[in-house]
Each structure stands twice: as C-alpha cells, then as structure tokens.
A and B are shown apart, each in its own frame.
Chain A
C-alpha cells in the first residue's frame, strides 16, 4: 500500500509506469507475493491522507509506504501540522499491524531556509519518535534533474519514476523480507 500524492499516483504517466507499478513488477520478479495498491491522489496533503487512511488501508495491508507532505510543502502549510498528521497516520497503520516506511519530502528552496530546514527535520523527527525506517528523500537523485522530470519540474518522467522505484526498493526490500519471514 502506497499512500501518497501525485508523485505516487504517477501524474502525467501511463498508469503502469508509476513507481508503485514498477515496485509491483520488482516484487513479482523477486518472488514475493504482494499486491501493490497505489493510493496516490493528486494534490493530497498529509491532512487528507490521514482522513482517508481507513478507507485506503482496509484490513489486509501489510506494509504502508507513506509518501505524503510534498503538497504541504508546496502550499507552505505549517510544519507542525504536517508532523502531527504524519504521526497520526503511522499510529493508525501500526494499530492495524502494518509495517511503515516513511518517505521523506523536501520543500522547494524558494520557501526559504527556515521553512525547508524545519520541513526536512520534520520527517527525521517523526521517524525517530515512531521508530519507523525513513527514506530521507523520495526523489533523491531525481528532483531538479531536467532529464528525469516532466516539463513542470515537479513530476518525474518515465525514467525518473524508474529511478524512484529503484531507490524505494532498496529501503523496501528489507522490510518485505522481514514481513515475508514473519508470515
């Protein structure tokens, strides 16, 4: 289960080329029998994610990849509020027995160092407090590289999505392995 925004949804990409779709293929290739549910919704903020957690998670979600916060950053929503939302989401997932991988986001630098610094720190703090693994930045190596993004400079293109999937897979695989072992 990937709970995210337009980056996860794969805005501007055919549906089988979003990074969750690629993760599905990787899981299949590695022989894991998991189904990846893309619960990415364009424009979604952490507040929205919190509210639809129940609907999205259902009862049989094993692993939650939490990739929200990008839109909070674009809109300059106060960091405290985002932190609270993320924590609450992780709480909810834990209650249902799902493992969580928190994907960090960055606020664009134009919002100023004060905000971006606080924003980046928020993910670290939440991961520490909740003791969940953290992928420091979902778009690591992709953001800001013209050849990996679409014209809007926000959303990864086909190649960018592939790199994101690789990047997520490195953090995801240990969790999957552990979860598969427990079952």
Chain B
C-alpha cells in the first residue's frame, strides 16, 4: 500500500502536466454541478419562502362554512399531536361596498378578508404609503384596499366606505398581500379588514357565503404528515387543507421544471467532463505502456500497477474537484449579476455555496474520475513485458473482468444520473442515451473503416492516406468518434431541450397576451365593449370576443349518455357533463389538427363539430361519428369533422373541448367572453373597468394582470438562468472536445513529420488531416445529433412534461459545427508540424 502511494506520487510529480486536462475536465464538471446545485438550492430556499409568503402560512385549513365544534375538536387534537401552537383564523367573503359620502354613488363588489393580529405568518403586506403593516391599522373599523377600488369609486385614503351597513375608514392601499389565493376566480378587488369586525357585521349570518380558514405555522418536517392526516380526517367533509407546497399554479410547476432541468444540466456537464477524462486516460495509458512493462519486468503485479494508476486518478479527481469547488464559489458570487433577483415584494435570494452541494461536488468529481478512467485503465493488464524487447502494439481483448467493470460503471453512472437529475426517468433516459450513442458510435466506427476501405486505392494522396489512417489498428478513430459523438449528443440535446423549455415558458409570458377576461358579454353588447377598449387603448390589439354556449352531450352514435351516479357527476368523469362550446371558422394558434378537416370545403348543411383529442381518447369518439348535443333546450345532431389538440398551457385563446362549424348557432342565444389586454397604467385600467361595468352591468371583469406580472418576472429570471447555463454547457463541452481531440495528436504529429521527411507537401498533409478529422467530426456529429433528438423528445415528453417541437436548425448547425470544430482542432494541433522542419519534431519524440 505504501509502495502504491509512493509510486503514484512519483508518477504524478512527473506527469501532472500531461494530466492537466484531466484536472480541468473534473474542475469544470464539479464547478458546474456545485454552482448549479448551490444556486438551485438558494433559489429553492427563496421559492419556499415565496411560496410561504403566497400562502402566509405553512398549512391552511379551509371550509365554506363555519367549522363545526366536531371539526374544531378534531383539528385541535391533531394540532396537539403534531405540537403545533401557532394558529390564526381568517375569513373571506364577497360583499358590496359603496362610498359613505362623496365619490361615485355606486356599489362595488369586493372580496373582503378578515384577519387576526397574528396574520401573516410569512410574507409582508406591502403598503403604498411605504409604511409597515400592523394589525392596528385594521382595528377600530379600518380597511386596506386595492388601488383599483379607489379608482373605481373615486375615493382616496382616509375616506369612508360602507361595508355591511357600517362605515369604515380606508387606512392605506395594499400593493402586495400574502395569503390571497393567486388565480382565484373573484369578481371584485381584495379588501383587508379585522376578522372580528367582519364576523360582527352580520354579513356571515346563517346563509352568508364565506370562506373560513385556520392558518398554521408548522415545523417543516411536520408539514407533509400533518397535511396528509388532516386530509384523511376530513375526506368526507367540506373541509379542505393545503400547504404552501401544494402546487396549484403554473408558476411552481415551471420552477420545478427549471430545477429539474438545471440538475440535468449539471449532470450533463459532469458527464462531458467524464468523456474528457476518459480521453485523457486513454492517451495516458498509451504513453505509459513502457513504464508498465518495466514495472512488470521488475516484479510488479497487475493489481499493484492498477492501484498505482487508480491512486493517481483519485488524487487528481480530488484536487480537480477542490479547484472546481473554488470555481463554483466564484460563479456563485457572480450569480446575482447574471441571474438578477426576484421582483420586489418577493423574497430575496441568498446566493452562497451550500455545504451539501460542496460535498456532493467532491464526491461526484472523484466518482466520475474513477468511473471514466476504470475501463481504459484496465488495458494495463494486457501490457506484456516482452514489449520491452521489441515494439508491439497492445492487443485489446475483452475479458470477463472488463465486461463486469463496464457493467458496474454503467450502473453506477445510471445511479449517479438518477440521483443528480432527481428523477428516475431523466436518469434512465440520459444513461440509455449514453449507452445507445456509445454503441452506435462503435458500430459506426467499424462501418466507416469498412466502407471507406476501397477509397484507399484512390490516386489522390491526401484521400488515400486519410483512409489508411482511419483504418489503421490502434488509431484514435474510435476515441475521436466516441468523445465527439457523445459530446455533441449531450450538447445538441441540451440545446434542443432548452429551446423547447424556453418556448413553453415564453408562451406564458408574452407581453401582448391577455391580462383580463370579460365574461358574460351579450350579443348586442359586443360591439360596444370592443369600441370602449379601442377608444381607451387605441395602441393595443382590441379584445376578440369568443361566442360561448353551454351544451350537454346527450348521445353518441345512438348510444345515450346518462350519468349514472352522483360520483360521476361530481368527478366530471362522464361525457354527460355540461360543456362550454364555441364556433369559429379557423384553428387558433394554440391548436393543432390531429385528424379530419377544419373545415372541409363541402358543407352539406349538417352541423359539424371538432373535438379535442382528450375527448377522442377518453370516450373513443371518432371522426364521422354523430353526436347529439342539448343546447339551451334544443337537441342538435352534429357530425364529428375533426380532432384537434389544444395546448392547454398556452392561454391566449382559451381551450374548448367542442368547437362547431359556423352556421349552427348564430341564431341561438349566446354570450361572449373576451380575453383582453388592458392598459398597463393602473389608473387608466381602473377607469376602463369602471366604465365597462357602469355601461354594461352584466359584464364581469376578471383581472389577472398582477398574477401574470409575478409569473413573468420569475419566468424571466429563470429563462435567463437557463440560457446562461446552456451557454456554460456549450462552452465547457467545446473546451472538453477540443482537449479530447487534440490529445490524439501525439501519434499523428509524428507520422506527419515522417511524411514530410519523405517529401509530402504541407498542403497534401493538411488535406489529409482535414479529410480525416472532417469526416470523423461530421459522422460523430450526425450520430450525436440523432441521439440528441431522441433524448430531448424523451425528456420533454416524460420528465419535464412540456410539448416538444423538432428544431432542425439546431440539429443541422450542431452537425456542421461539430465537423468544422473537429477539423479545425485537427489542423491547428498539427500546425506546428506543418510549419516546423520535420527534424525538429522527430528529435522531440
């Protein structure tokens, strides 16, 4: 053991320069994984804080009626069991408010929430005045309201508002309020008041509709178990429980996606580093053959010699990882400048290295060094000491040990992938892709040698020798193919994934997307509503009203649809539920046709309907089927003309299960809904909403601009982070490829020098190199590119759950760039030979 350690140190002392690249690969890989991991953990901490701020508590128990004494007793019991001591109650209801004096003499519906002094457990109430929130503001009949309510009623802070028949004073304006459910369906702006006042107001008497909440602060480890317990307790009661972690909005889903993606990227960079490591070790072993033979000659056994090199690998891996951690520290320190911060009013991100990430990075660095060196190192076992008597190439043989080691390495790699990507699916997809591409590259290498062999008879010197070089045993053809193919596989894969992921984000943050929804516009009001918008905001695209009707499916193909049980009705699992339908002549941007025509040129007068692919799959309704619909008291038979797929994540034009061909319902009474983009200026916005409701009292406005803005800001930050990380992958990947390919030059340089001595012109040697490396690069790029397509598809589809679109440009560019890159490296790394006098090179050998 001592000998092994000493020997490893002596060897390292002499050869560390040659292993610098190894070192660099590990350092880059570890730096990426540690910084990504730290950053995602930092962001996660911030997001958790943010999620808590959105919920204002760890767990919220809610009911649409006052808690019964039984329910309360049960809750008390559970709280004792989980030793939860901090709780506060809240209640929320819709009510009408109107100015006490002055302002406009109109009543407005608001969503009023009554809270106690302990509110909120998390997050802060941000006030327009800049003051700090305290419950005292609400006491003695105080209200906090939203700016748009003031605009709509023509009031200001300090004015009085009649709520529940009693006057209240508006104490301040709320900009951010924790605990209000995002994306809730509400007809009025939020108002905050004292819970006791609200309960005393009489609004919540027996028939009053309210939402009663108990908010809890719970130790972190108890959140999930307590939540599960409460949900089981109240399964059959109208009592619900949710935690800050309950994913109820797109935002947290997107963040999860981003996090998974970033973990995946960390893994990919590490694997890229591993590929570099394996290239170095291959060359390294080649250079160490003689030393190994000598050791064997003087009594060294295989286990000893393997141990000597493994010890070096571990030492280098450890040192490289340490440098990587240092690099990660720098990256993390710089991160705020790149990634920016979340919007104000949300939680700050603390950027710092986390201990867990550092330990993981060190472990992974050493593990990857070992895994990727092990197989090439096994070759030393085949080194024969007779090599010292005369030059012989080392025969490569596969034996059981090597196959066992490969199996071990692959499973360790799969384990690593699953662990790092935090997902079985992604881990397996990456590993399978890795193995698949490796095998294909091996086969491709063989096929290439065989197919180009006839060209060896070519008259053109560079071509002839390029072919000869590719086919020579012991040549680096396979090493280049493998390194470049796998490298391009991962890089192009990441690029494709990034494109798809960002597309799916962008859909949600389009600035011109609708930020308010008008519902229940009557037919005769449509023109007026649109005109109101165009006169207020001439620069914005006018709202496009969508006709909507309600319909119930009565039968399909003669099969009657009836809902057998309450459960079916409540679970909405049945086709017989009520659907909102529409009609229009063309597909929307968020729809794609799966089958049939939308609409066919011929129209036989029979009503036609297009169904969503989900309906087609769930109920096996086909194109050509006849469906019967009950539409406001009439029955209509319509032929299924097409099947559409709706991208539900793209909210621009909503989504409909059934879309009819125009011509059927124009005469039927129907209302319109209109997604609209409102003015950004809040006062203009408030005025528009006021005018709208004043003129068309039946029209209700649901304003989602604030939710959208939060989503946009976060998504923008995440998008930037993903792009930056993508660039890092590309950069480090290219660095590693350059290194791997130029490692192969040693042998080539020597040959080139001999060719030159024998009178070959610089041009023809360069031509030879260009042909050889170019062909290898293109081939490896093509294999990698195809693999990347499969990888990105699998990961998009099964892990990130985002729609996948091919992007041929990325693929083609990937192949071309790979070819050119490899070619360029081949030529540049041989430049000195091409330029120098051949003798210099030969002597240097």
Contact = CB atoms under 8 A, between A and B. Distances in A.
Chains A and B bind each other: yes
Interface of A: 1, 9, 11-15, 37-39, 41-43, 45-48, 50-56, 72, 74-78, 80-81, 85, 106, 108-115, 143-144, 146, 151-154, 158
Contact of B569 (A14, A52, A110): A14
Contacts of A75: 109, 187, 700
B109 A108 contact: no
A48 B522 CA distance: 6
Contacts of B93: 110
Contacts of B667: 55
B669 A9 contact: no
Given A112-B96, A152-B64, A51 B523 contact: yes
A109 B208 contact: yes
Contact of A47 (B95, B98, B162, B698): B698
Contacts of A80: 697
Interface stretch (B197-205, B527-535, B636-644): B197-205
B203 A56 contact: no
A13 B577 CA distance: 10
A48 B671 contact: yes
A52 B670 contact: yes
Nearest to A85: B698
- Main SS at interface, chain B: loop
Most A Cβ at <10 Å: residue of B163, B576, B632 = B632
Interface string B233-254: 0000010000000000000000
Contacts of B758: none
Contacts of B700: 75, 77
Contact of B209 (A12, A110, A151): A110
Given A51-B523, A146-B65, 15 more contacts: A12-B570, A14-B565, A42-B578, A47-B520, A48-B669, A51-B522, A78-B697, A106-B207, A108-B94, A114-B96, A114-B165, A115-B96, A144-B207, A153-B209, A153-B238
Contact of B208 (A1, A37, A52, A110): A110
Nearest to A37: B633
A56 B64 CA distance: 35
B697 A51 contact: no
Contacts of A143: 207
Contact of B668 (A55, A72, A151): A55
Contacts of A112: 95-96, 163-165, 203
A54 B670 CA distance: 12
Given A42-B578, A75-B187, A76-B94, A13 B670 contact: no
A64 B377 CA distance: 91
A19 B669 CA distance: 23
Task: Name the 9 nearest CB pairs between A and B, nearest first.
Answer: A52-B669, A76-B109, A47-B698, A81-B697, A110-B208, A39-B633, A110-B203, A110-B93, A144-B207
Contacts of B187: 75-76
B507 interface: no
Nearest to A55: B669
Contacts of B95: 110-112
Nearest to A158: B566
Chain B interface category by residue count? 35 or more
B210 A110 contact: yes
A80 to B, nearest CB: 8
B669 A51 contact: yes
A139 B272 CA distance: 70
B191 to A, nearest CB: 13
Contact of B698 (A11, A45, A154, A158): A45
Nearest to B206: A144
Given A13-B569, A77-B697, A81-B697, A113 B669 contact: no
Contacts of A144: 206-207
A109 B205 contact: yes
9 contacts: A11-B578, A39-B633, A48-B698, A56-B632, A74-B94, A109-B202, A112-B165, A113-B165, A144-B207
B632 A51 contact: no
A43 B520 contact: yes
A112 to B, nearest CB: 5
A81 to B, nearest CB: 4
Contacts of A72: 698
Contact of B563 (A15, A43, A81, A109): A15
Interface string B163-182: 11100000000000000000
Nearest to A41: B550
Contacts of A115: 96, 107
A48 B207 contact: no
B206 to A, nearest CB: 6
B77 interface: no
B826 interface: no
A72 B700 CA distance: 10
B427 to A, nearest CB: 42
Contacts of A153: 64-65, 209, 238
Interface in B505-526: 520, 522-524
B302 to A, nearest CB: 74
A122 B564 CA distance: 39
B669 A54 contact: yes
A143 B671 CA distance: 28
A162 to B, nearest CB: 15
B552 interface: yes
A15 B232 CA distance: 32
Contacts of A111: 94-96, 109, 203
A114 to B, nearest CB: 6
Contacts of B562: 14-15
Contacts of B520: 43, 45, 47-48
A52 B210 CA distance: 32
A108 B522 contact: no
A144 B204 CA distance: 12
A157 to B, nearest CB: 8
B207 A15 contact: no
B678 interface: no
Most B Cβ at <10 Å: residue of A75, A113, A114, A151 = A75
Nearest to B563: A14
A77 B698 contact: yes
Given A15-B552, A42-B578, A55 B632 contact: yes
A76 B671 contact: no
A76 B96 contact: yes
Interface in B685-742: 697-698, 700
A174 B247 CA distance: 55
A42 B634 CA distance: 15
B669 A56 contact: yes
Contacts of B564: 14
Contacts of A106: 207
B190 interface: no
B188 interface: yes
Nearest to A49: B669
